[in-house]
Copies of this chain bind each other. A is one copy, B any other.
Amino acid sequence: MTTYSTTSPEEFRLLCRKGEFTGDTAGACAEYAQANLIVLPKKYANDFVSLCYRNSAPCPLLCRTPAGNPKKVNSTKFFKSTEVDLSTDFPSYCVYEKGILKETTTSISSIWSENHVGFLIGCSYSFENDLARNGLIPRHQTLNRGVPVYKTSKYLDPAGIFSKCTYVVSMRPYKKSELEKVRSITRKFEETHGEPVDWGYDGAERLGIRDLMHPDFGDRPEIHEDEIPVFWGCGVTPQLCVMQMGDAIEGTVMSHKTGSMLVMDITGDNIKNL
């Protein structure tokens, strides 16, 4: 994946649109920020905005579309041209019915109806370049893997239809002596999950993560003996909410596939100063 580290966001999105890149975006367009996607029937839009407001660490809402138009994102902060289509420009997508994953695909343009609203959520890949520049290269990048991602037992504060939903977190291992530096660097990225939500093996326990070696999404981690796991809020959280709500959510829901993010035109340096 690191082959694409110097590709421009526009060029990279075009590769995704054509189906020529369908994989994990860790390290892609390294200087640029990335985003998660959830596409919901419009009757759930207000509740979802409220969920994000109440839970900004796992669900930092960046922008949204009107109903029915995946090409109209309500923000010029994140995209310099109108050349973006949320239904094709992610490498891969998931399609859910009644909370159950029905399909993964490289385009959802034929499924996105007049009734669907898309939301972009900040992604922690956005601060990885800053970590790397500070000598704290995330392990999964060294290994050329995607970041390991876990379901947890930590509850979101509920909002409307979305209740009894739990956090999803990404994990990067660091030495204990590096923790405060890692916290401090990522703290500035409030729009892309900010600082960690917990850390340490006791943190894994607090989050109800039973087996670090078998993440629920993403790739297998490698944690050295002198390291501790450090956990960040993850933009896969809305997908888990939809799965957890099951039957209660009517209609088709779509999302990006874990790790297959949208590359935006805003750099990591700029998104941290928003």
**A residues adjacent to B (C-beta < 8 A):** 50, 53-54, 56-57, 154-155, 157-160, 183, 187, 190, 194-198, 206, 233
Nearest Cβ on chain B to A190's Cβ, whole angstroms? 6
Given A160-B187, A187-B160, the answer on whether A54 and B194 have CB atoms closer than 8 Å is yes
Q: Which residues of B contact A57 (CB under 8 A)?
A: 54, 157
CB neighbours (8 Å) of A53 from chain B are 56, 190
Measured between beta carbons, the chain B residues less than 8 angstroms from A54 are 56-57, 194
Q: A50-B190, A157-B197 are in contact. List 11 more A-B contacts (CB 8 A).
A: A50-B194, A50-B195, A54-B194, A56-B56, A57-B157, A154-B155, A155-B198, A155-B206, A157-B233, A158-B195, A159-B187
Q: Are A158 and B196 in contact (CB under 8 A)?
A: yes
CA distance A57 to B53 in the complex (A): 9
Closest to A153 in B: B206
Q: Which B-chain residue is minimally distant from A155 (CB atoms)?
A: B206
In the bound complex, residues from chain B placing their C-beta under 8 Å from that of A198 are: 155, 158
Q: How far is the CA of A195 from the CA of B50 in the complex (A)?
A: 10
Bound-state CA distance A154–B194 (Å) is 20
Residues of B within 8 A of A187 (CB): 50, 159-160
**Beta-carbon nearest neighbor of A57 in chain B:** B157
Residues of B within 8 A of A190 (CB): 50, 53
A239 to B158, CA, bound (A): 23
Docked complex Cα distance between A126 and B32 (Å): 42
CA distance A206 to B206 in the complex (A): 13
What's the Cα separation between A75 and B159 when bound, in Å? 27
Closest Cβ neighbor of A180 among chain B residues: B160
- Measured CB to CB, the nearest residue on chain B to A154 is B155
Q: How far is the CB of A97 from chain B (nearest CB, A)?
A: 25
Give the docked Cα–Cα distance between A50 and B57 (Å).
10
Verify B158–A197 contact, CB threshold 8 A. Answer: yes
Q: How far is the CA of A194 from the CA of B163 in the complex (A)?
A: 14
Taking CB atoms, residues of chain B closer than 8 Å to A158 are: 195-198
Interface centre among A54, A155, A159, A196 (most CB of B within 10 A): A54
- On chain B, the residues within 8 Å of A160 by CB distance are 183, 187, 195
